[in-house]
Each structure stands twice: as structure tokens, then as C-alpha cells.
Amino acid sequence: MELKLEAPAIVQRLHASSKLITCFRNHSPMSNLTRVVPSGLLLSLLFVVAACGKSGPPLASVSGVVTYQDKPVVYAQVVLMSIEKYDGRTWPASAETDEDGRYVLETPGVGNGALVGKHTVSITKRGPSRGAAPGSPAVGNESRPEMQAYMLPGPALIPERYFSPVTSGLEAEVKPGSNTFDFKLKD
């Protein structure tokens, strides 16, 4: 089934989605031409417009410093995993520490910060890779980026209990606004 619609009528009906309409106007000369729009395409377009209005989870900024034996933990991976669900799922936020052990969290695909609520925490820091796993395709190809999955991980440079949110014993409650969590790791 096909519907015949004049393009200006589509533009008027979808005015609520100005970004989409601006793109539509800028890329398609619309004058008074009549366009044939398959009904499936029209429904898909309406679905996209409806989905564009949906916002992501409520985030708050999170930063801090990670230390071990009173020294900054450089280039460690910090992950906060939300305990509470938003929109039916948990939302991990992560960051890598800098030269001073500082981090600023980001929730992938959503933005800067972490989901407001309670989180478990994991922190991972390893030394350089120990080379290719014996018998793996990476043997002799260690420098190729796609072979990294076959490399043996380097030695743990902090206690391995911190590598898992289940065993780390670290928790954080993110509140609206700005949050600072300094993690002082111990043996």
C-alpha cells in the first residue's frame, strides 16, 4: 500500500522534530511536488521521531582519585556498575585514570557522568601484556591490534580483589550534582 502525500504536509505534521525536519528540508527540494511515500517508510519515520524525544538515564558528574600504597594508580580502569536499574537495565560508567590517578566517569553512549543511585565499583590495573598465548593466532603477530584478544594479560599491579565489583568491597552512591569518590586501595 502506498500513500500520496504532499511534502509540505509532512513537514507541517512533523514540526515537533525540528532537527529531522531541518535535515529533510535541507536535503530534499520540496516545493509543491507530490511524493509517493510507502506506508512502511512513513511509519518508520514516525517511529524515529518518537524515539528522538526519549532521554537517557539521569546522570550526575563523578570524579576522584585512585591511590594504592599512598601513590596514584596511573592508567587504571575504574568502573561503576549501577545496582538499581533504569529503563530495565543497569548502566556502567567508566574511566581511565591519568598520570595523577584522577578519573572522570562517562556512561558509554549516554554522556559524561554516572547514573544517579547506588553502584558497585571495580578498579583494574595490570602491567604490560606477557605476549601471545601459546598456540594462538597471535604468535608472531603480536603487534597487530586485532591480535590483542589473544595476548596473555600482564601481572596485576594492585590486589586482584579490586578487579571485580563483587569482591572489591567498594561502593558509591551517586547523587544529583557533582560527586567525588577517592578510592584508597589497600593490600
Convert the pLDDT of each residue in 63-100 to its tens digit. Answer: 999 999 999 999 999 999 999 889 999 899 999 999 99
With bands split at pLDDT 50, 70 and 90, how would you rate the model's confidence at 141? confident
Which of 120-134, 140-154, 172-186 has the highest mean predicted lDDT (pLDDT)?
A: 172-186
Question: Where do the domains of the chain lie, and which CATH numbers do they carry?
Answer: 2-52 (no CATH), 59-185 (2.60.40.10)
Smallest CA-to-CA distance from 14 within 54, 55, 42 is with: 42
Q: How many C-beta atoms surround the C-beta of residue 83 within 10 A?
A: 14
pLDDT, mean over the chain: 78
Measured between alpha carbons, how far is 185 from 143 in angstroms, rounded to an integer?
A: 33
